[in-house]
């Protein structure tokens, strides 16, 4: 796509988001051909959402970093989207169900970036990104299916629209130095007191910092980098669960922290 088509594509997605409307899919002429174009549209979308007052990007979410989510969505590689200041919550919150098209929840671990991750010619690894992580959170990701039928939507279009990202709820921070072994920490999620899923943080590409390194390398390839103060959602250890009004969702990453959200 040329620059104008990228802007038009982002404009369609921004209007859909702001008006909370379902979308069948992007028109052919405004549909990104591959993931590289998808991230160009996504960047433009973030600018439009910021300009409209919808929210400023303050971090990223990474999807499809665990087998359970790759199988659920039928996508074999990680995909990133934006996290916005207006939809970042802490510890426990109540949200209006009606502000979403079709909300779901996931159980995640998130990282607070304490130092810029400036790329060099060596690339990032799990070991090289670790010192930049200042704190960790147990986290709920609130996803929103803004598509008429997401199963028919191509992966680049999903990425362009932030890969279902809609909101997060973070636990109290745990200093990274005090965190448990992230290859084995257990995470679980309950809805209305009933456990609906469990996994380990090692399900995230073998270790959550592998996902962080993937994102750092992906951003570097686009001439960008993670900066101090950003939050990164590293992936869900349980399958997405769609919710209904009145549902109360709680997650806990053992040794890291827990969070709660109620949909009213």
3-state helix, strand, coil in the chain (%, to 5): 35, 35, 35
Structure tokens, 168: 């997060």
In 3D space, the residue among 62, 48, 40, 61 whose CA is nearest the CA of residue 15 turns out to be 48
- What residues contact residue 241 under an 8 Å CB cut-off, 6+ apart? 104, 105, 106, 189, 191, 196, 197, 249
pLDDT value of residue 245 = 98
Cα separation of 30 and 8, whole Å? 7
Among the four given CATH numbers 1.10.580.10, 3.90.850.10, 3.40.50.2000, 1.10.8.10, the one describing domain 3-263: 3.90.850.10
Over its length of 264 residues, how does the chain's per-residue pLDDT go in tens digits? 999 999 999 999 999 999 999 999 999 999 999 999 999 999 999 999 999 999 999 999 999 999 999 998 989 899 999 999 999 999 999 999 999 999 999 999 999 999 999 999 899 999 999 999 999 999 999 999 999 999 999 999 999 999 999 999 999 999 999 999 999 999 999 999 999 999 999 999 999 999 999 999 999 999 999 999 999 999 999 999 999 999 999 999 999 999 999 999
Sheet holding 248-253, edge to edge: 92-95, 257-263, 248-253, 186-191, 194-200
pLDDT value of residue 66 = 93
Distance of CA 178 to the CA centre of its chain: 24
CA angle 116, 221, 74 (to 5 degrees): 105
In 3D space, the residue among 211, 240, 239 whose CA is nearest the CA of residue 226 turns out to be 211
pLDDT value of residue 131 = 98
- What residues contact residue 84 under an 8 Å CB cut-off, 6+ apart? 49, 54, 55, 56, 57, 58
pLDDT value of residue 18 = 93
168 conformational bin, left if phi > 0, alpha if psi -120 to 50, beta if neither: beta
pLDDT value of residue 155 = 95
Q: Which residue has the tokens 């309950």?
A: 190
pLDDT value of residue 25 = 93
């Amino acid at each position: 796509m040329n620059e104008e088509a990228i802007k038009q594509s982002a404009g369609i997605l921004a209007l859909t988001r702001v008006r909370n409307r379902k979308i069948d899919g992007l028109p052919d002429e405004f549909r990104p051909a591959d993931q590289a174009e998808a991230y160009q549209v996504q960047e433009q979308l973030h600018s439009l959402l910021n300009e409209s007052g919808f929210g400023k990007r303050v971090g990223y979410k990474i999807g499809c970093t665990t087998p359970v989510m790759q199988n659920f969505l039928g996508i074999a590689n990680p995909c990133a989207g934006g996290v916005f200041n207006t939809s970042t919550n802490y510890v426990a919150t109540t949200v209006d169900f009606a502000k979403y098209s079709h909300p779901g929840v996931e159980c995640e671990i998130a990282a607070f970036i304490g130092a810029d991750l400036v790329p060099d010619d060596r690339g990032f690894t799990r070991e090289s990104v670790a010192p930049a992580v200042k704190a960790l959170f147990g986290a709920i990701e609130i996803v929103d299916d803004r598509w008429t039928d997401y199963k028919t939507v191509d992966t680049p279009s999903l990425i362009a629209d932030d890969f279902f990202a809609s909101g997060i709820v973070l636990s109290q921070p745990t200093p990274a130095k005090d965190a448990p072994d992230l290859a084995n920490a257990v995470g679980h999620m309950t809805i209305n007191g009933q456990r609906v899923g469990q996994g380990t943080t090692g399900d995230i590409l073998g270790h959550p910092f592998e996902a962080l390194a993937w994102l750092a390398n992906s951003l570097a390839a686009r001439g960008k980098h993670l900066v101090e103060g950003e939050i990164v959602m590293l992936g869900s250890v349980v399958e997405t669960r769609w919710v209904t009004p009145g549902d109360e969702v709680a997650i806990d990453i053992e040794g890291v922290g827990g969070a709660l959200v109620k949909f009213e």
